Amino acid sequence: MKPGDKEKTVRAALFLSALSAALILLFIVFFLFKEALPFLSHGDLVGFLTGTVWKPTANVYGAGIFIAGSILTTAGALFIAVPLGVACAVFLSEVAPKKAVNILRPAIELLAGIPSIVYGLFALIVIVGLVQQDLGKLLTGDSLPTGKGILAAALILGVMILPIVISISQDAICAVPRSFREASYALGSTKWQTIQKVILPGAMPGIAAGVILGVGRAIGETMAVVLVLGNVGMIPSNILGIDSRGETLTSAIMLDMSYVPVGSMHYAALFTLGLTLFFMAFALSMASEYLLAKRRRQSKC
């Protein structure tokens, strides 16, 4: 074997490995479509996307409740994770002494490594009780009928996406050129003014990309949500109490998958739910990719 041949073999092997990822994606999309096809071709798609009654036994498939449930819980999670995550990233990269960073960074990375079912159990045992008893007494003077719902789900999802938001925001902040900071200080700005007027605007595309990746994780999250969102076939219409419960695309798939007859219309409808979720996640990841590419053009970090 000549050295040149070996070079070629390695190149081919590496190319095949790289190709396999794209092929797997293609296969998944193909099978999602294939299984969803009976529903896509016969079902009423507008009714599917906007309907609010999901009753497979009566052949009524309105996934609007699940789409709304997914969007609302994710929005709630962002409401918690974005301010906290960005503040934490600013602190880590601009303010914190090296010692603090050395402790905080591994802690945040560990947070990302906790399995979602563990988050879910924690939420079910701790957060649901806190919301029902303590928060209820604090706000209404009495415990709430239930602690499950969008608040508990948003709280736990917020914590789950925090590591993504922090680490990508931190990268974005560190990518803001040193010369910008120096220019700002040279003009007599304080540290806070520099962060607010120079660093955050400069890092914004990167931070936005991190947030969008977080959205992708939150919208696809299943276990934690199934445990605490309450699994009620309604659109959440309140932050607390009985009307705050709902169901997401992921929890609907999980709850129905255990009993759906293979090959039935219901089965195809579940795959259509999966397809909907796939397209939502796909759009999000494209958006984040676009923003990150924009940042890469601007600077090198």
Partner 1 sequence: MKINGKVKGAYLVVLLITTLLYAGCTGSNPGTQKQTLTVAGSTTVQPIAAKAAEAYMKINPGVTVSVAGGGSGTGIKMASEGSADIGASSRDLTADEIAAGNLKVYEIADDGIAIVVHPGNTLSDLTKQQIKDIFSGKITNYKELGGPDKQIVVVIREEGSGTRTSFEDMIMDKGKTNNTQNAEQQPSNGAVKATVGSNPNAIGYISAGYLDGTVKGLKIGGIEPTRETIKSGTYPISRKLYMLTKGEASGNAKAFIDYVLSDAGQKIVEDEGFVKLR
Distance CA 186, CA 179 (A): 10
Bridge partners for 55 per DSSP: 60
Closer residue to partner 1 in complex, CB, 267/278: 267
Q: Which two tokens stand for residue 185?
A: 């200080």
Extract the tokens encoding 139: 């706000």
Q: What are the CA-CA distances from residue 224 to residues 56, 103, 152, 289, 298 (Å)?
A: 24, 27, 10, 27, 38
Question: Nearest approach, Cβ of 4 to partner 1 (angstroms)?
Answer: 16
Window 51-90: contact mask with partner 1 (x via CB under 8 A):
-----xx---------------------------------
Contact pattern for partner 1 over residues 133 through 152, marking x by CB under 8 A: ----------x-xxxx----
User: Rule CB under 8 A: which of 7-36 touch partner 1?
Assistant: none
* Contacts to partner 1 from residues 180-239, by CB under 8 A: 230-234
The pair phi, psi for residue 165, each rounded to 5°, is: -60, -45
- Binding residues for partner 1, how many (CB under 8 A)? 26
Is the CB of 18 or the CB of 118 nearer to partner 1? 118
Of 28 and 60, the one with the shorter C-beta distance to partner 1 is: 60
Cα-based angle 65, 68, 74 (whole degrees, multiple of 5): 135
Q: How far is CA 53 from the centre of its chain?
A: 25
Q: If you search the block for the tokens 């994710």, which residue do you land on?
A: 74
Nearer to partner 1 (CB atom), residue 198 or residue 232: 232
Residue at token pair 């988050």: 119
Choice from 70, 132, 170, 276 touching partner 1 (CB under 8 A): 132
Q: State the minimum distance, in angstroms, from the CB of residue 145 to partner 1.
A: 4
**Residue 255 contacts partner 1 per CB under 8 A:** yes
CB of 69 to partner 1, least distance (A): 13
- Burial class of residue 47 in the structure, from the number of CB atoms within 10 Å of its CB (0-12 exposed, 13-18 middle, 19+ buried): middle
Give strand ranges (E) for the chain.
54-55, 60-61
Q: What is the closest distance, in whole angstroms, from the C-beta atom of residue 31 to partner 1 in the complex?
A: 19
Residues at the interface with partner 1 (CB under 8 A):
56-57, 128-129, 132, 143, 145-148, 230-234, 241-242, 245, 247, 255-256, 258-262
